[in-house]
Structure 1
């Protein structure tokens, strides 16, 4: 079981901003997740992996693919109070869910 956060790299966000956006995605998915998947994930160490994606277009394509599955997902849109413009989509949280299901969708992406 794992959770994946897919972060846009084209926005050139600072490290703190990236961390905050990843936290939003993690918590957003946590709130939506199936209780059984949460339990399995929590008892297996709550593995999280942060991957990079190069554009909003690619992020939205991935979001569409994930929505066609039974995996939990959460697309994060920033309020625009600090480094980036309001309504900017920054990242996508996926899971927690089975590694193999998530890897089918994100296995081609590299670690952030």
Structure 2
């Protein structure tokens, strides 16, 4: 079981901003997940993986793949109080779900460094 957060690398957010947006994505998709999968994910240590895309278009493509695979997901829009204009889409939370299902959505993405 795992959860993946897909971050837009093209926005060049600070580390703190990126962490905050990833947290929003984590909680947003967690709230949409099946309760049995949440329990299993929690028992297994709540694994999270942070990956990157280089454009908004790539993020939307990943969201569509998640939707087609019935994977819970949550698109994060920034409130605009700090580094970005309000409404900027920053990341996408995916899962938690089984590794096999999540990998159908995110297997080609590189880790955020």
Common fold: TM-score over 0.5: yes
Count of paired positions: 112
- Provide the rounded CA distance (Å) in 2 between the counterparts of 1:52 and 1:99: 18
- The equivalent of 1:13 in structure 2 is 13
- Displacement of 1:85 in angstroms is 1.1
Give secondary structure in 1 for the equivalent of 2:31.
helix
User: Counterparts of 1:62 and 1:109 in 2: how far apart (Å)?
Assistant: 10
Q: What whole-Å deviation, never above 9, does each CA across 1:43-77 have from its counterpart, x for those lacking one?
A: 00100000010000100111111111221100101
Structure 1 residue runs of 5 or longer lacking an equivalent are none
Answer yes or no: is 1:26 the counterpart of 2:20: no
- Name the structure 2 match of 1:87: 87
Give, in whole Å, the separation in 1 of the partners of 2:44 and 2:27.
18
Mapped to 1, the partners of 2:105 and 2:32 lie a distance apart of: 19
TM-score by length of 2: 0.96
Cα separation, 1, equivalents of 2:93 and 2:30: 9
Q: Indicate the SS of the match to 1:85.
A: coil
CA–CA distance in 2 between the matches of 1:100 and 1:54?
24
Looking at structure 2, the residues matched to 81 and 31 of structure 1 have their Cα atoms a distance apart, in angstroms, of 24
TM-score by length of 1: 0.97
Counterpart in 1 of 2:53? 53
**SS of the residue 2:110 aligns to:** coil
Instruction: Report runs of 4+ in structure 1 exceeding 6 Å deviation.
Output: none
